[in-house]
């Protein structure tokens, strides 16, 4: 990401972080969080979770997203809904709440719930980054699947799954059964979006594409061309809805901006991409 790294600090206790961000290592319920100043942005902070880059926050600008895949997801969202919409969103995987902060700023009438399994991390993030309060942004500590399955049908417009344990998403959050639960909480025209991390072989992305395509009438994939050609590891964004996604010129044009331009695959290409892959299920990996 082109940032200057600061020396690693000794571990500090969560209580020392409640008044704002401070560089250092912090114990959490699921391991260790490291907060690192962005050497290129005096208002920027990088959050590492168990040694893996997780989030970036610009304290001065919630509409600044450092990670390309987050910009792609927000481009998809803004192609579907205008800024005056009363969006009801569910973000699975909180970390520093970069995308929920963006949603609050971009959609002032929205109501956003973040599910984060790590209670200590959630408390730290609220103290570091002065997140918007409920009902604009509420953090619910819990396991993503259990919370999703507990929600009322048609109670959300947007579900974003951005959950990782290390470099992979837990299997239970990728299956047809979980996808059905996510679909159940979506109202008409709702969108389910997942961030799939994969290797050049794209085996995981193919199976996730097959699983989401089996559940939804319309799908899209967003990623940069080298990723889609199997030349590197990275992020593949897969989305499903009961209404068409990205069917105008606006989204493809928006995805061409930024340091890493992305490509949009429409439904037919997504289904072709995943047609030979097995749908993921709870009973088999």
- List pLDDT tens digits, range 73-131: 999 999 999 999 999 999 999 999 999 999 999 999 999 999 999 999 999 999 999 99
**Is domain 68-274 classified as CATH 3.40.50.150?**
yes
C-alpha torsion 243→184→93→111, nearest 10: 80
- List pLDDT tens digits, range 158-170: 999 999 988 899 9
Tokens linked to 59: 């304290």
Helix (H, G, I), strand (E, B) or coil at 253: helix
Could you give the residue ranges of the DSSP H alpha helices within the chain? Answer: 68-80, 98-106, 119-129, 144-150, 176-184, 203-215, 225-228, 250-255, 267-274
* Rg of the chain over all Cα atoms, to the nearest angstrom: 18
In the chain, count H helices and then E strands.
9, 12
Q: Is 6 a residue whose pLDDT tops 50?
A: no
Beta strands 218-223; 186-198: pairing state: unpaired
Whole-prediction pTM value?
0.93
Beta strands 218-223; 234-241: pairing state: antiparallel
**In 3D, which of 95, 89, 69, 105 has the Cα closest to residue 191?**
89
CA 263, CA 253: separation in Å to the nearest integer?
10
Tokens linked to 127: 């103290």
- List pLDDT tens digits, range 171-198: 999 999 999 999 999 999 999 999 999 9
Distant-in-sequence contacts of 22-27, Cβ < 8 A, 24+ apart: 22/128, 26/120, 26/124, 27/120
pLDDT of residue 259: 86
Q: Is 9 a residue whose pLDDT tops 90?
A: no
Tokens linked to 181: 């639960």
pLDDT of residue 257: 87
Provide the mean pLDDT of the chain.
93
**In 3D, which of 219, 274, 244, 260 has the Cα closest to residue 69?**
260
Q: List, in order, residues 6 or more apart from 17 with CB less than 8 Å away.
A: 24, 26, 35, 124, 127, 128
Q: List, in order, residues 6 or more apart from 100 with CB less than 8 Å away.
A: 89, 91, 94, 112, 114, 131, 137
pLDDT of residue 19: 74
Question: In degrees rounded to 5, what are phi and psi of residue 90?
Answer: -130, 120
CATH 3.40.50.150 residue ranges for the chain: 68-274
CA 266, CA 221: separation in Å to the nearest integer?
7
Partnered with residue 222 across adjacent β-strands are: 237, 264
Residue 74 C-beta-side C-alpha neighbours within 13 Å: 23
- Cβ atoms of 45 and 38 within 8 Å: the answer is yes
């Amino acid at each position: 990401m082109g940032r200057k790294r600061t020396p690693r600090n000794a571990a500090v206790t969560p209580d020392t972080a409640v008044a704002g961000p401070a560089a250092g290592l912090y114990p959490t319920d699921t391991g260790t969080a490291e907060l690192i100043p962005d050497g290129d942005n005096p208002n920027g902070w990088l959050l590492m979770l168990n040694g893996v880059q997780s989030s970036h926050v610009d304290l001065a600008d919630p509409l600044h997203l450092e990670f390309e895949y987050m910009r792609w997801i927000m481009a998809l969202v803004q192609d579907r809904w205008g800024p005056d919409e009363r969006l009801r969103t569910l973000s699975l995987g909180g970390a520093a709440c970069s995308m929920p902060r963006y949603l609050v700023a971009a959609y002032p009438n929205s109501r956003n719930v973040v599910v984060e399994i790590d209670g200590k991390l959630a408390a730290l993030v609220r103290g570091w980054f002065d997140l918007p309060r409920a009902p604009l942004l509420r953090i619910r500590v819990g396991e993503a699947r259990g919370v999703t399955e507990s929600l009322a049908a048609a109670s959300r417009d947007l579900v974003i799954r951005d959950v990782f344990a290390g470099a992979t998403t837990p299997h239970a959050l990728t299956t047809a059964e979980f996808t059905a639960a996510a679909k159940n909480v979506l109202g008409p025209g709702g969108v389910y979006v997942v961030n799939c991390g994969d290797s050049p072989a794209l085996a995981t992305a193919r199976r996730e594409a097959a699983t989401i395509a089996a559940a939804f009438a319309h799908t899209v994939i967003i990623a940069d061309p080298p990723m889609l050609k199997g030349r590197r590891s990275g992020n593949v964004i897969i989305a499903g809805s009961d209404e068409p996604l990205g069917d105008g010129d606006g989204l493809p044009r928006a995805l061409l901006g930024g340091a890493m331009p992305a490509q949009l695959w429409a439904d037919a290409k997504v289904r072709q991409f995943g047609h030979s892959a097995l749908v993921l299920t709870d009973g088999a990996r």
